[in-house]
């Protein structure tokens, strides 16, 4: 079962997610509404996935997400009422598995995560059967994310400034596009086989100035 945390200041929505997601093979280890709570939940619960709200009452959700990735190697999914055009401008240091725009039903979130991480949309009674597969999928995706950040840090992606770059765990650039989803879809079409894990990262010009 995927271990996930929720970073969300809408308590009712967070609790709704927490009550529905286990049916999709996703165990919620904690809910956080602030930076301090998020770091505490991540440290204690050791999640593999964080569901991230972009704007909290007092904190920047994406800034917190960057800390979670850097400190704990957590995979992220962005869930926000802010549109993709807004969110995509601030993805430096992040390679989320995707973006869902609010309002969104918990069941939609569950299906999306299950599809992205190759988990079974299982009931409570059958979710244990896919634990090993789920953990392996998350591990491979995290490896791809780390490869993407390493390639960006050492300058191998400098010629793709201002664009979204999809890479695999073998540090190969699979696709370059102007949007996250275009890069993701293009990379999947070019991947060497079904289930090859990829990461999509946005390359900002500021980091090279």
Q: Which domains does the chain have, with CATH numbers?
A: 2-127 (3.40.50.2300), 136-208 (no CATH)
pLDDT at res. 139: 57
pLDDT at res. 120: 38
pLDDT, tens digit only, all 209 positions of the chain: 899 999 999 999 999 999 999 999 999 999 999 999 999 999 999 999 999 999 898 899 999 999 999 999 899 999 998 877 778 778 877 888 888 988 889 999 999 998 887 643 343 333 334 344 444 555 566 677 778 778 888 889 888 888 888 888 888 898 898 776 677 778 877 765 555 677 777 776 654 33
Q: Within 10 Å of residue 191's Cβ, how many Cβ atoms? A: 17
Bridge partners, residue 60, by sequence: 55
- Report whether 52 contacts 79 (CB < 8 A): yes
pLDDT at res. 60: 94
Report the candidate in 106, 104, 128, 133 with the shortest Cα–Cα distance to residue 117.
133
164-168 sheet: strands from edge to edge: 173-177, 164-168, 198-202
**2, containing H or E segment:** strand 2-7
Give exposure, 121-151, as e/b (b: 16+ Cβ within 10 Å). Answer: bbeeeebeebeeebbebbebbbbbbbbbbeb
**78, containing H or E segment:** strand 75-80
């Amino acid at each position: 079962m995927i271990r996930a945390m929720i970073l969300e200041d809408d308590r009712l929505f967070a609790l709704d997610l927490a009550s529905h997601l286990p049916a999709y093979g996703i165990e919620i280890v904690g809910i956080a509404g602030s930076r301090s709570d998020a770091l505490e939940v991540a440290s204690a619960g050791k999640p593999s996935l964080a569901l991230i709200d972009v704007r909290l009452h007092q904190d920047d959700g994406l800034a917190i997400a960057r800390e979670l990735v850097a400190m704990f190697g957590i995979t992220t999914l962005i869930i926000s009422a802010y549109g993709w055009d807004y969110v995509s401008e601030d993805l430096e240091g992040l390679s989320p598995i995707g973006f869902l725009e609010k309002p969104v039903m918990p069941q939609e979130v569950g299906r999306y995560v299950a599809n992205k991480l190759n988990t079974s949309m299982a009931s409570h009674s059958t979710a244990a059967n896919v634990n090993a597969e789920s953990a392996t999928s998350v591990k491979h995706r995290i490896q791809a994310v780390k490869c993407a950040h390493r390639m960006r840090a050492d300058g191998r992606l400098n010629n793709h400034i201002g664009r979204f770059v999809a890479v695999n765990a073998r540090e190969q650039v699979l696709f370059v596009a102007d949007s996250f989803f275009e890069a993701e879809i293009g990379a999947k079409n070019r991947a060497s086989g079904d289930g090859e894990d990829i990461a999509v990262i946005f390359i900002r010009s500021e980091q090279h100035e």
